[in-house]
Amino acid sequence: ETGVTQSPTHLIKTRGQQVTLRCSSQSGHNTVSWYQQALGQGPQFIFQYYREEENGRGNFPPRFSGLQFPNYSSELNVNALELDDSALYLCASSSRDGSEAFFGQGTRLTVV
Amino acid sequence: GQQVMQIPQYQHVQEGEDFTTYCNSSTTLSNIQWYKQRPGGHPVFLIQLVKSGEVKKQKRLTFQFGEAKKNSSLHITATQTTDVGTYFCAGRGTSGYSTLTFGKGTMLLVSP
């Protein structure tokens, strides 16, 4: 167990809806990163938060947004869901130097 | 942007055979990390390499970081069925608070 927990574990949404995914980071870690992993692909970086501020973003549209809270937990919000958003969404927490990322078990999102 | 490529995409070996996966980055890396993801699971950190030419061993696993810090390899000696999974390399760039870029992974299947 990594100490990183994500909720929910599975989710089914309809195209056009909005979704919020949650992640609690490992104790002592102040950096949280979110990744999208399509079937058979490697994790694709969405964005990273450090001390409640976004400090890195991958090639994802603005409808992907996030938050980090004072306790370093985090949320990923996706608006106007599209079928291609169906994927495993992974949260990873790390210390500031990012020497090792601890992944949660992921949220499997299916958009129909 | 930074790209990380891995080969092969897939390898099927008999138990006891060796296995190697290769990782190449389009840009020089500050460090490279390796992760293992079991089917249905989440990526689990294996190791980080930082120094040019670095070689690290973990039991039957040998990790190398190239002299130019743009390529890396993972070699497994005498594979076992417990080695089954997808192995990802993830490179971190050299600028500021660079984030991890994952390769697409190499899926390893081991037959008894």
Q: Does B48 reach chain A within 8 Å, measured CB to CB?
A: yes
- Answer whether residue B83 shows pLDDT above 90: yes
- What residue of A is the nearest CA neighbor of B6? A42
Rounded mean pLDDT, B25-53: 95
Of B1, B31, B43, the CB nearest to A43: B43
- A105 and B105: CB-CB below 8 Å? no
Confidence at A2, pLDDT banded by 50, 70, 90: low
Q: Which residues of A touch B (CB under 8 A)?
A: 2, 33, 35, 40-45, 48, 50, 55-56, 58-59, 90, 92, 98-106
CB B16 within 8 A of CB B111: no
pLDDT band at A27 (very low <50, low <70, confident <90, very high): confident
Question: Residue A91 and residue A34: Cα distance in Å, rounded?
Answer: 5
Locate B109 and state its tokens.
């299947």
Residue A99 has pLDDT above 80, yes or no: no
Assess whether pLDDT exceeds 90 at residue A25.
Answer: no
CB A10 within 8 A of CB A108: yes
Q: Does B42 touch chain A (CB under 8 A)?
A: yes
A58 vs B72: CA distance, rounded Å: 23
* pLDDT for the residue B4: 95
User: Chain-wide mean pLDDT for chain B?
Assistant: 95
Asked if pLDDT for residue A26 goes beyond 90, the answer is no
Q: CB of A103 within 8 A of CB of A5?
A: no
In the predicted structure, residue B95 carries a pLDDT above the cut 80: no
Strand pairing class (B55-58; B4-7)? unpaired
Helix then strand then coil, % of chain A, to nearest 5: 5, 50, 45
Nearest residue of chain A to residue B103 (CA atoms): A42
Q: Looking at residue A36, what is its pLDDT?
A: 98
Q: What is the pLDDT of residue A95?
A: 81
CA gap B44, B95 in Å, rounded? 25
What is the pLDDT at residue A78? 98
- Of residues B94 and B74, more confidence is placed in B74
The nearest CA of chain A is from the CA of B79 a distance in Å of 22
Confidence of residue B96 (pLDDT cuts 50, 70, 90): low
For the residues B28-40, what does the mean pLDDT come to? 95
Say whether pLDDT at B100 is over 90.
Answer: no
Interface contact B105-A42, CB threshold 8 A: yes
Cβ of A41 within 8 Å of Cβ of B104? The answer is yes
The predicted-structure confidence for A47-71, as pLDDT tens digits, reads as follows 999 989 998 899 999 999 999 999 8
- Chain A residue nearest residue B88, CA to CA: A42
What is the per-residue pLDDT for B97?
A: 65
- Quick one: DSSP state of residue A39? T
For residue A29, what pLDDT is reported?
85
Instruction: Inform me whether the pLDDT recorded for A98 exceeds 80.
Output: no
Q: What distance in Å separates the CA atoms of residue B20 and residue A99, rounded to the nearest whole number?
A: 24
A55: which chain B residues are within 8 Å (Cβ-Cβ)?
97
Q: Is the dihedral of CA B73, B85, B104, A80 positive or negative?
A: negative
**Beta carbons of B104 and A101 less than 8 Å apart:** no
The span from the CA of A9 to the CA of A90, in Å, is: 10
Q: Which of B1, B45, B103 sits opposite A100 (nearest CB)?
A: B45
Tokens 């390769």 sit at which residue?
B103
